[in-house]
Amino acid sequence: MIDKVFRNATLFTPVDRGRPQAGPDQGAVRVVEKGAIWCRDGLIQAVGPEEEVLRSLHPCVPDQETDLEGRCVIPGFVDPHTHLCFAATREREFSLRLQGVEYLEILRRGGGILSTVRSVRETDEEELFLATRRRALSALRFGTTTVEIKSGYGLDTETELKMLRVIRRIGRETPLDVVPTFLGAHAVPEEYRDRSDAFVDLVIEEMIPAVVRQGIARFCDVFCEKGVFSVEQSRRILQAATAAGLGAKIHADEVHDLGGAGLAAEVRAVSAEHLLAASEANLEAMARAGTIAVVLPATAYSLRKPFAPARTMIELGVPVALATDCNPGSSYTESMPFVFGLAVLLTGLSVEEALTAATLNAAYAVGMAERVGSLDVGKQADFLVLEGETPAVIAYHAGVNPVVQVYKKGERLKV
């Protein structure tokens, strides 16, 4: 047993009330000046004012004591929506987009997601692992200690499973906690062009059973979008996935208001993601169902679209989480601080709301809130030491990394 105490910290943490934080609770952040965290074998035993923490564990003596010199400490970021597992980047496509070619038009011409599918199919597993690990470690330097990673660049059973094995290895061979999501319905592959229903059948009849048999994913996601998968096709996939024991997630209303947000509420998805074009009626349905909105401001930024209405979501009582969406097409960043800054300065979240969104609500969005997402007794001692005095520095000191130290399960990582 190893006991460690981290003292003389200014702690900022959302308060876990056993459910995702919505409405006014989203901004309820606990601040403790001269605070301490006591952990045993990486799990928090006590947290709060230093004197109380030390008193509560008396006469136990820690094996290690660290003075954090009054610095600002927050929970490690949880990035609940990424596509980190890919091979080649798509810089030329980015240049095309800068010239005005639309994202979905590039996909329609066989580029976009489909070009990443070609490169992931061709790349051997080891190389794909090394590329993914590079990005995961970069995310860790920016303070991400738990990450969700989606498959979805295979679009055939063999390559989807290859991606999910790589994703599992990232969880085993890096300090990050990794949540794997199966996204077999990310696009209609070229060999199924104009036969999307047949591809949906393949996802339901072959891919989902194979993924579940191998126990290699926790969630199933689908890209519900005009020209990709319809609401009806998405419903079939998510119903099959939930019946097989996977949690449901959905890329909803990113470009067009197809009704994906309403479907998320209907199938009791844990989260609906993107939501740039979601209608207010469907957001209300999400609030009633307790579906988390995973907002991806770096995607709106990169696609130069209006941001998702995060302020309205909070006012309607939808719990909001933040994620990078890191992928080679619509959002090439692994930086949660960048996303945090966009959320605060351009979508109208307060610093406190953004902090809850990037930690606790994000942890709920990936089914990890029992272990991570806030500084609470029983959770992992995953935390960040920031430069500056408060989490506002994350938005304030723009374009640089405000994370000076990263701790995972009480262990300081060399990042």
The reply to whether 254 sits near ligand NIG by the rule CB under 6 A is yes
From the list 42-50, 110-118, 314-322, 353-361, the region that binds ligand NIG by CB under 6 A is 110-118
Distance CA 5, CA 19 (A): 28
221 binds Fe ion (CB under 5 A): no
Query: Under a CB-based contact definition with an 8 Å cutoff, are residues 32 and 48 in contact?
Result: yes
Binding residues for N-formimidoyl-L-glutamate: 153, 327, 329
Shortest CB 301 distance to ligand NIG, Å: 12
**Closest distance of CB 33 from ligand NIG, Å:** 40
Applying CB under 5 A, the span of 47-55, 203-211, 232-240, 318-326 interacting with Fe ion comes to 318-326
State which residue, 123 or 327, has the beta carbon closest to ligand NIG: 327
When the beta carbons of 271 and 327 are compared against ligand NIG, the nearer one is: 327
Distance CA 111, CA 189 (A): 11
44 vs 224, which CB is nearer to Fe ion?
224
Distance (Å, whole) CA 57 – CA 204: 52
Backbone angles phi, psi at 56, to 5 degrees: -65, -25
The answer to whether residue 116 forms part of the interface with ligand NIG (CB under 6 A) is yes
Q: Using CB under 6 A, which of 5, 22, 36, 113 touches ligand NIG?
A: 113
Question: DSSP characters for 184-244?
Answer: EESS--GGGTT-HHHHHHHIIIIIHHHHHHHT--SEEEEEE-TTSB-HHHHHHHHHHHHHT
List of residues 6+ apart from 380 with CB closer than 8 A: 42, 43, 44, 177, 371, 372, 408, 409, 410
Instruction: Please answer whether residues 246 and 269 qualify as being in contact, where contact means their C-beta atoms are separated by less than 8 angstroms.
Output: no
The piece of 25-33, 137-145, 325-333, 390-398 that touches ligand NIG (CB under 6 A) is 325-333
**What is the smallest separation between the CB atom of 112 and ligand NIG, expressed in angstroms?**
5
Phi, psi of 312 (to 5 degrees): -60, -40
* 303, 103 Cβ separation under 8 angstroms: yes
Q: For ligand NIG, which is the closer residue by CB, 40 or 274? A: 274
Q: Can residue 325 be called a binding residue for ligand NIG (CB under 6 A)?
A: yes
Nearer to Fe ion, 116 or 230 (CB): 116
175 binds, among ligand NIG, Fe ion, none (CB under 5 to 8 A by kind): none
Question: Amino acid identity, residue 330?
Answer: S
Question: Which residue's C-beta sits nearest to ligand NIG?
Answer: 329
Rounded Cα gap, residues 257 and 113, in angstroms:
21
DSSP 3-state percent helix, strand, coil across the chain (nearest 5): 40, 25, 35
Strands 64-67 and 3-14: parallel
Task: Closer to ligand NIG by CB, 83 or 235: give it.
Answer: 83
Q: How far is the CB of 229 from Fe ion (least distance, A)?
A: 13
The nearest distance, CB 69 to ligand NIG, in angstroms, is 40
Q: Tell me which residue of 391, 337, 345, 350 sits closest to 77, measured CA to CA.
A: 337
The total number of residues shown for the chain amounts to 415
Distance in Å, CB of 111 to ligand NIG, minimum: 9
Binding mask 211-230 for ligand NIG (x = CB under 6 A): ------------x-------
Which of 13, 66, 327, 359 binds ligand NIG (CB under 6 A)? It is 327
Considering only 65-73, 125-133, 239-247, 326-334, which stretch makes contact with ligand NIG by CB under 6 A?
326-334
Q: What are phi and psi of 411, to 5 degrees?
A: -105, 125
Measure the CA–CA gap between 64 and 39, rounded to whole angstroms. Answer: 10
Angle at 394 between CA 78 and CA 315, to 5 degrees: 70
Binding mask 169-198 for ligand NIG (x = CB under 6 A): ------------------------------
Identify which of residues 75 and 112 has a Cβ nearer to ligand NIG in the complex: 112
Cβ atoms < 10 Å from Cβ of 208: 24
**Taking CB under 5 A as the criterion, which residues in 319-378 touch Fe ion?**
325
- Find the binder of ligand NIG among 330, 333, 335, 347 (CB under 6 A): 330
DSSP string, 338-354: HHHHHHHHHS---HHHH
| Residues lying near ligand NIG in the complex (CB under 6 A) | 83, 112-113, 116, 223, 251, 254, 299, 325, 327-330
| Residues lying near Fe ion in the complex (CB under 5 A) | 325
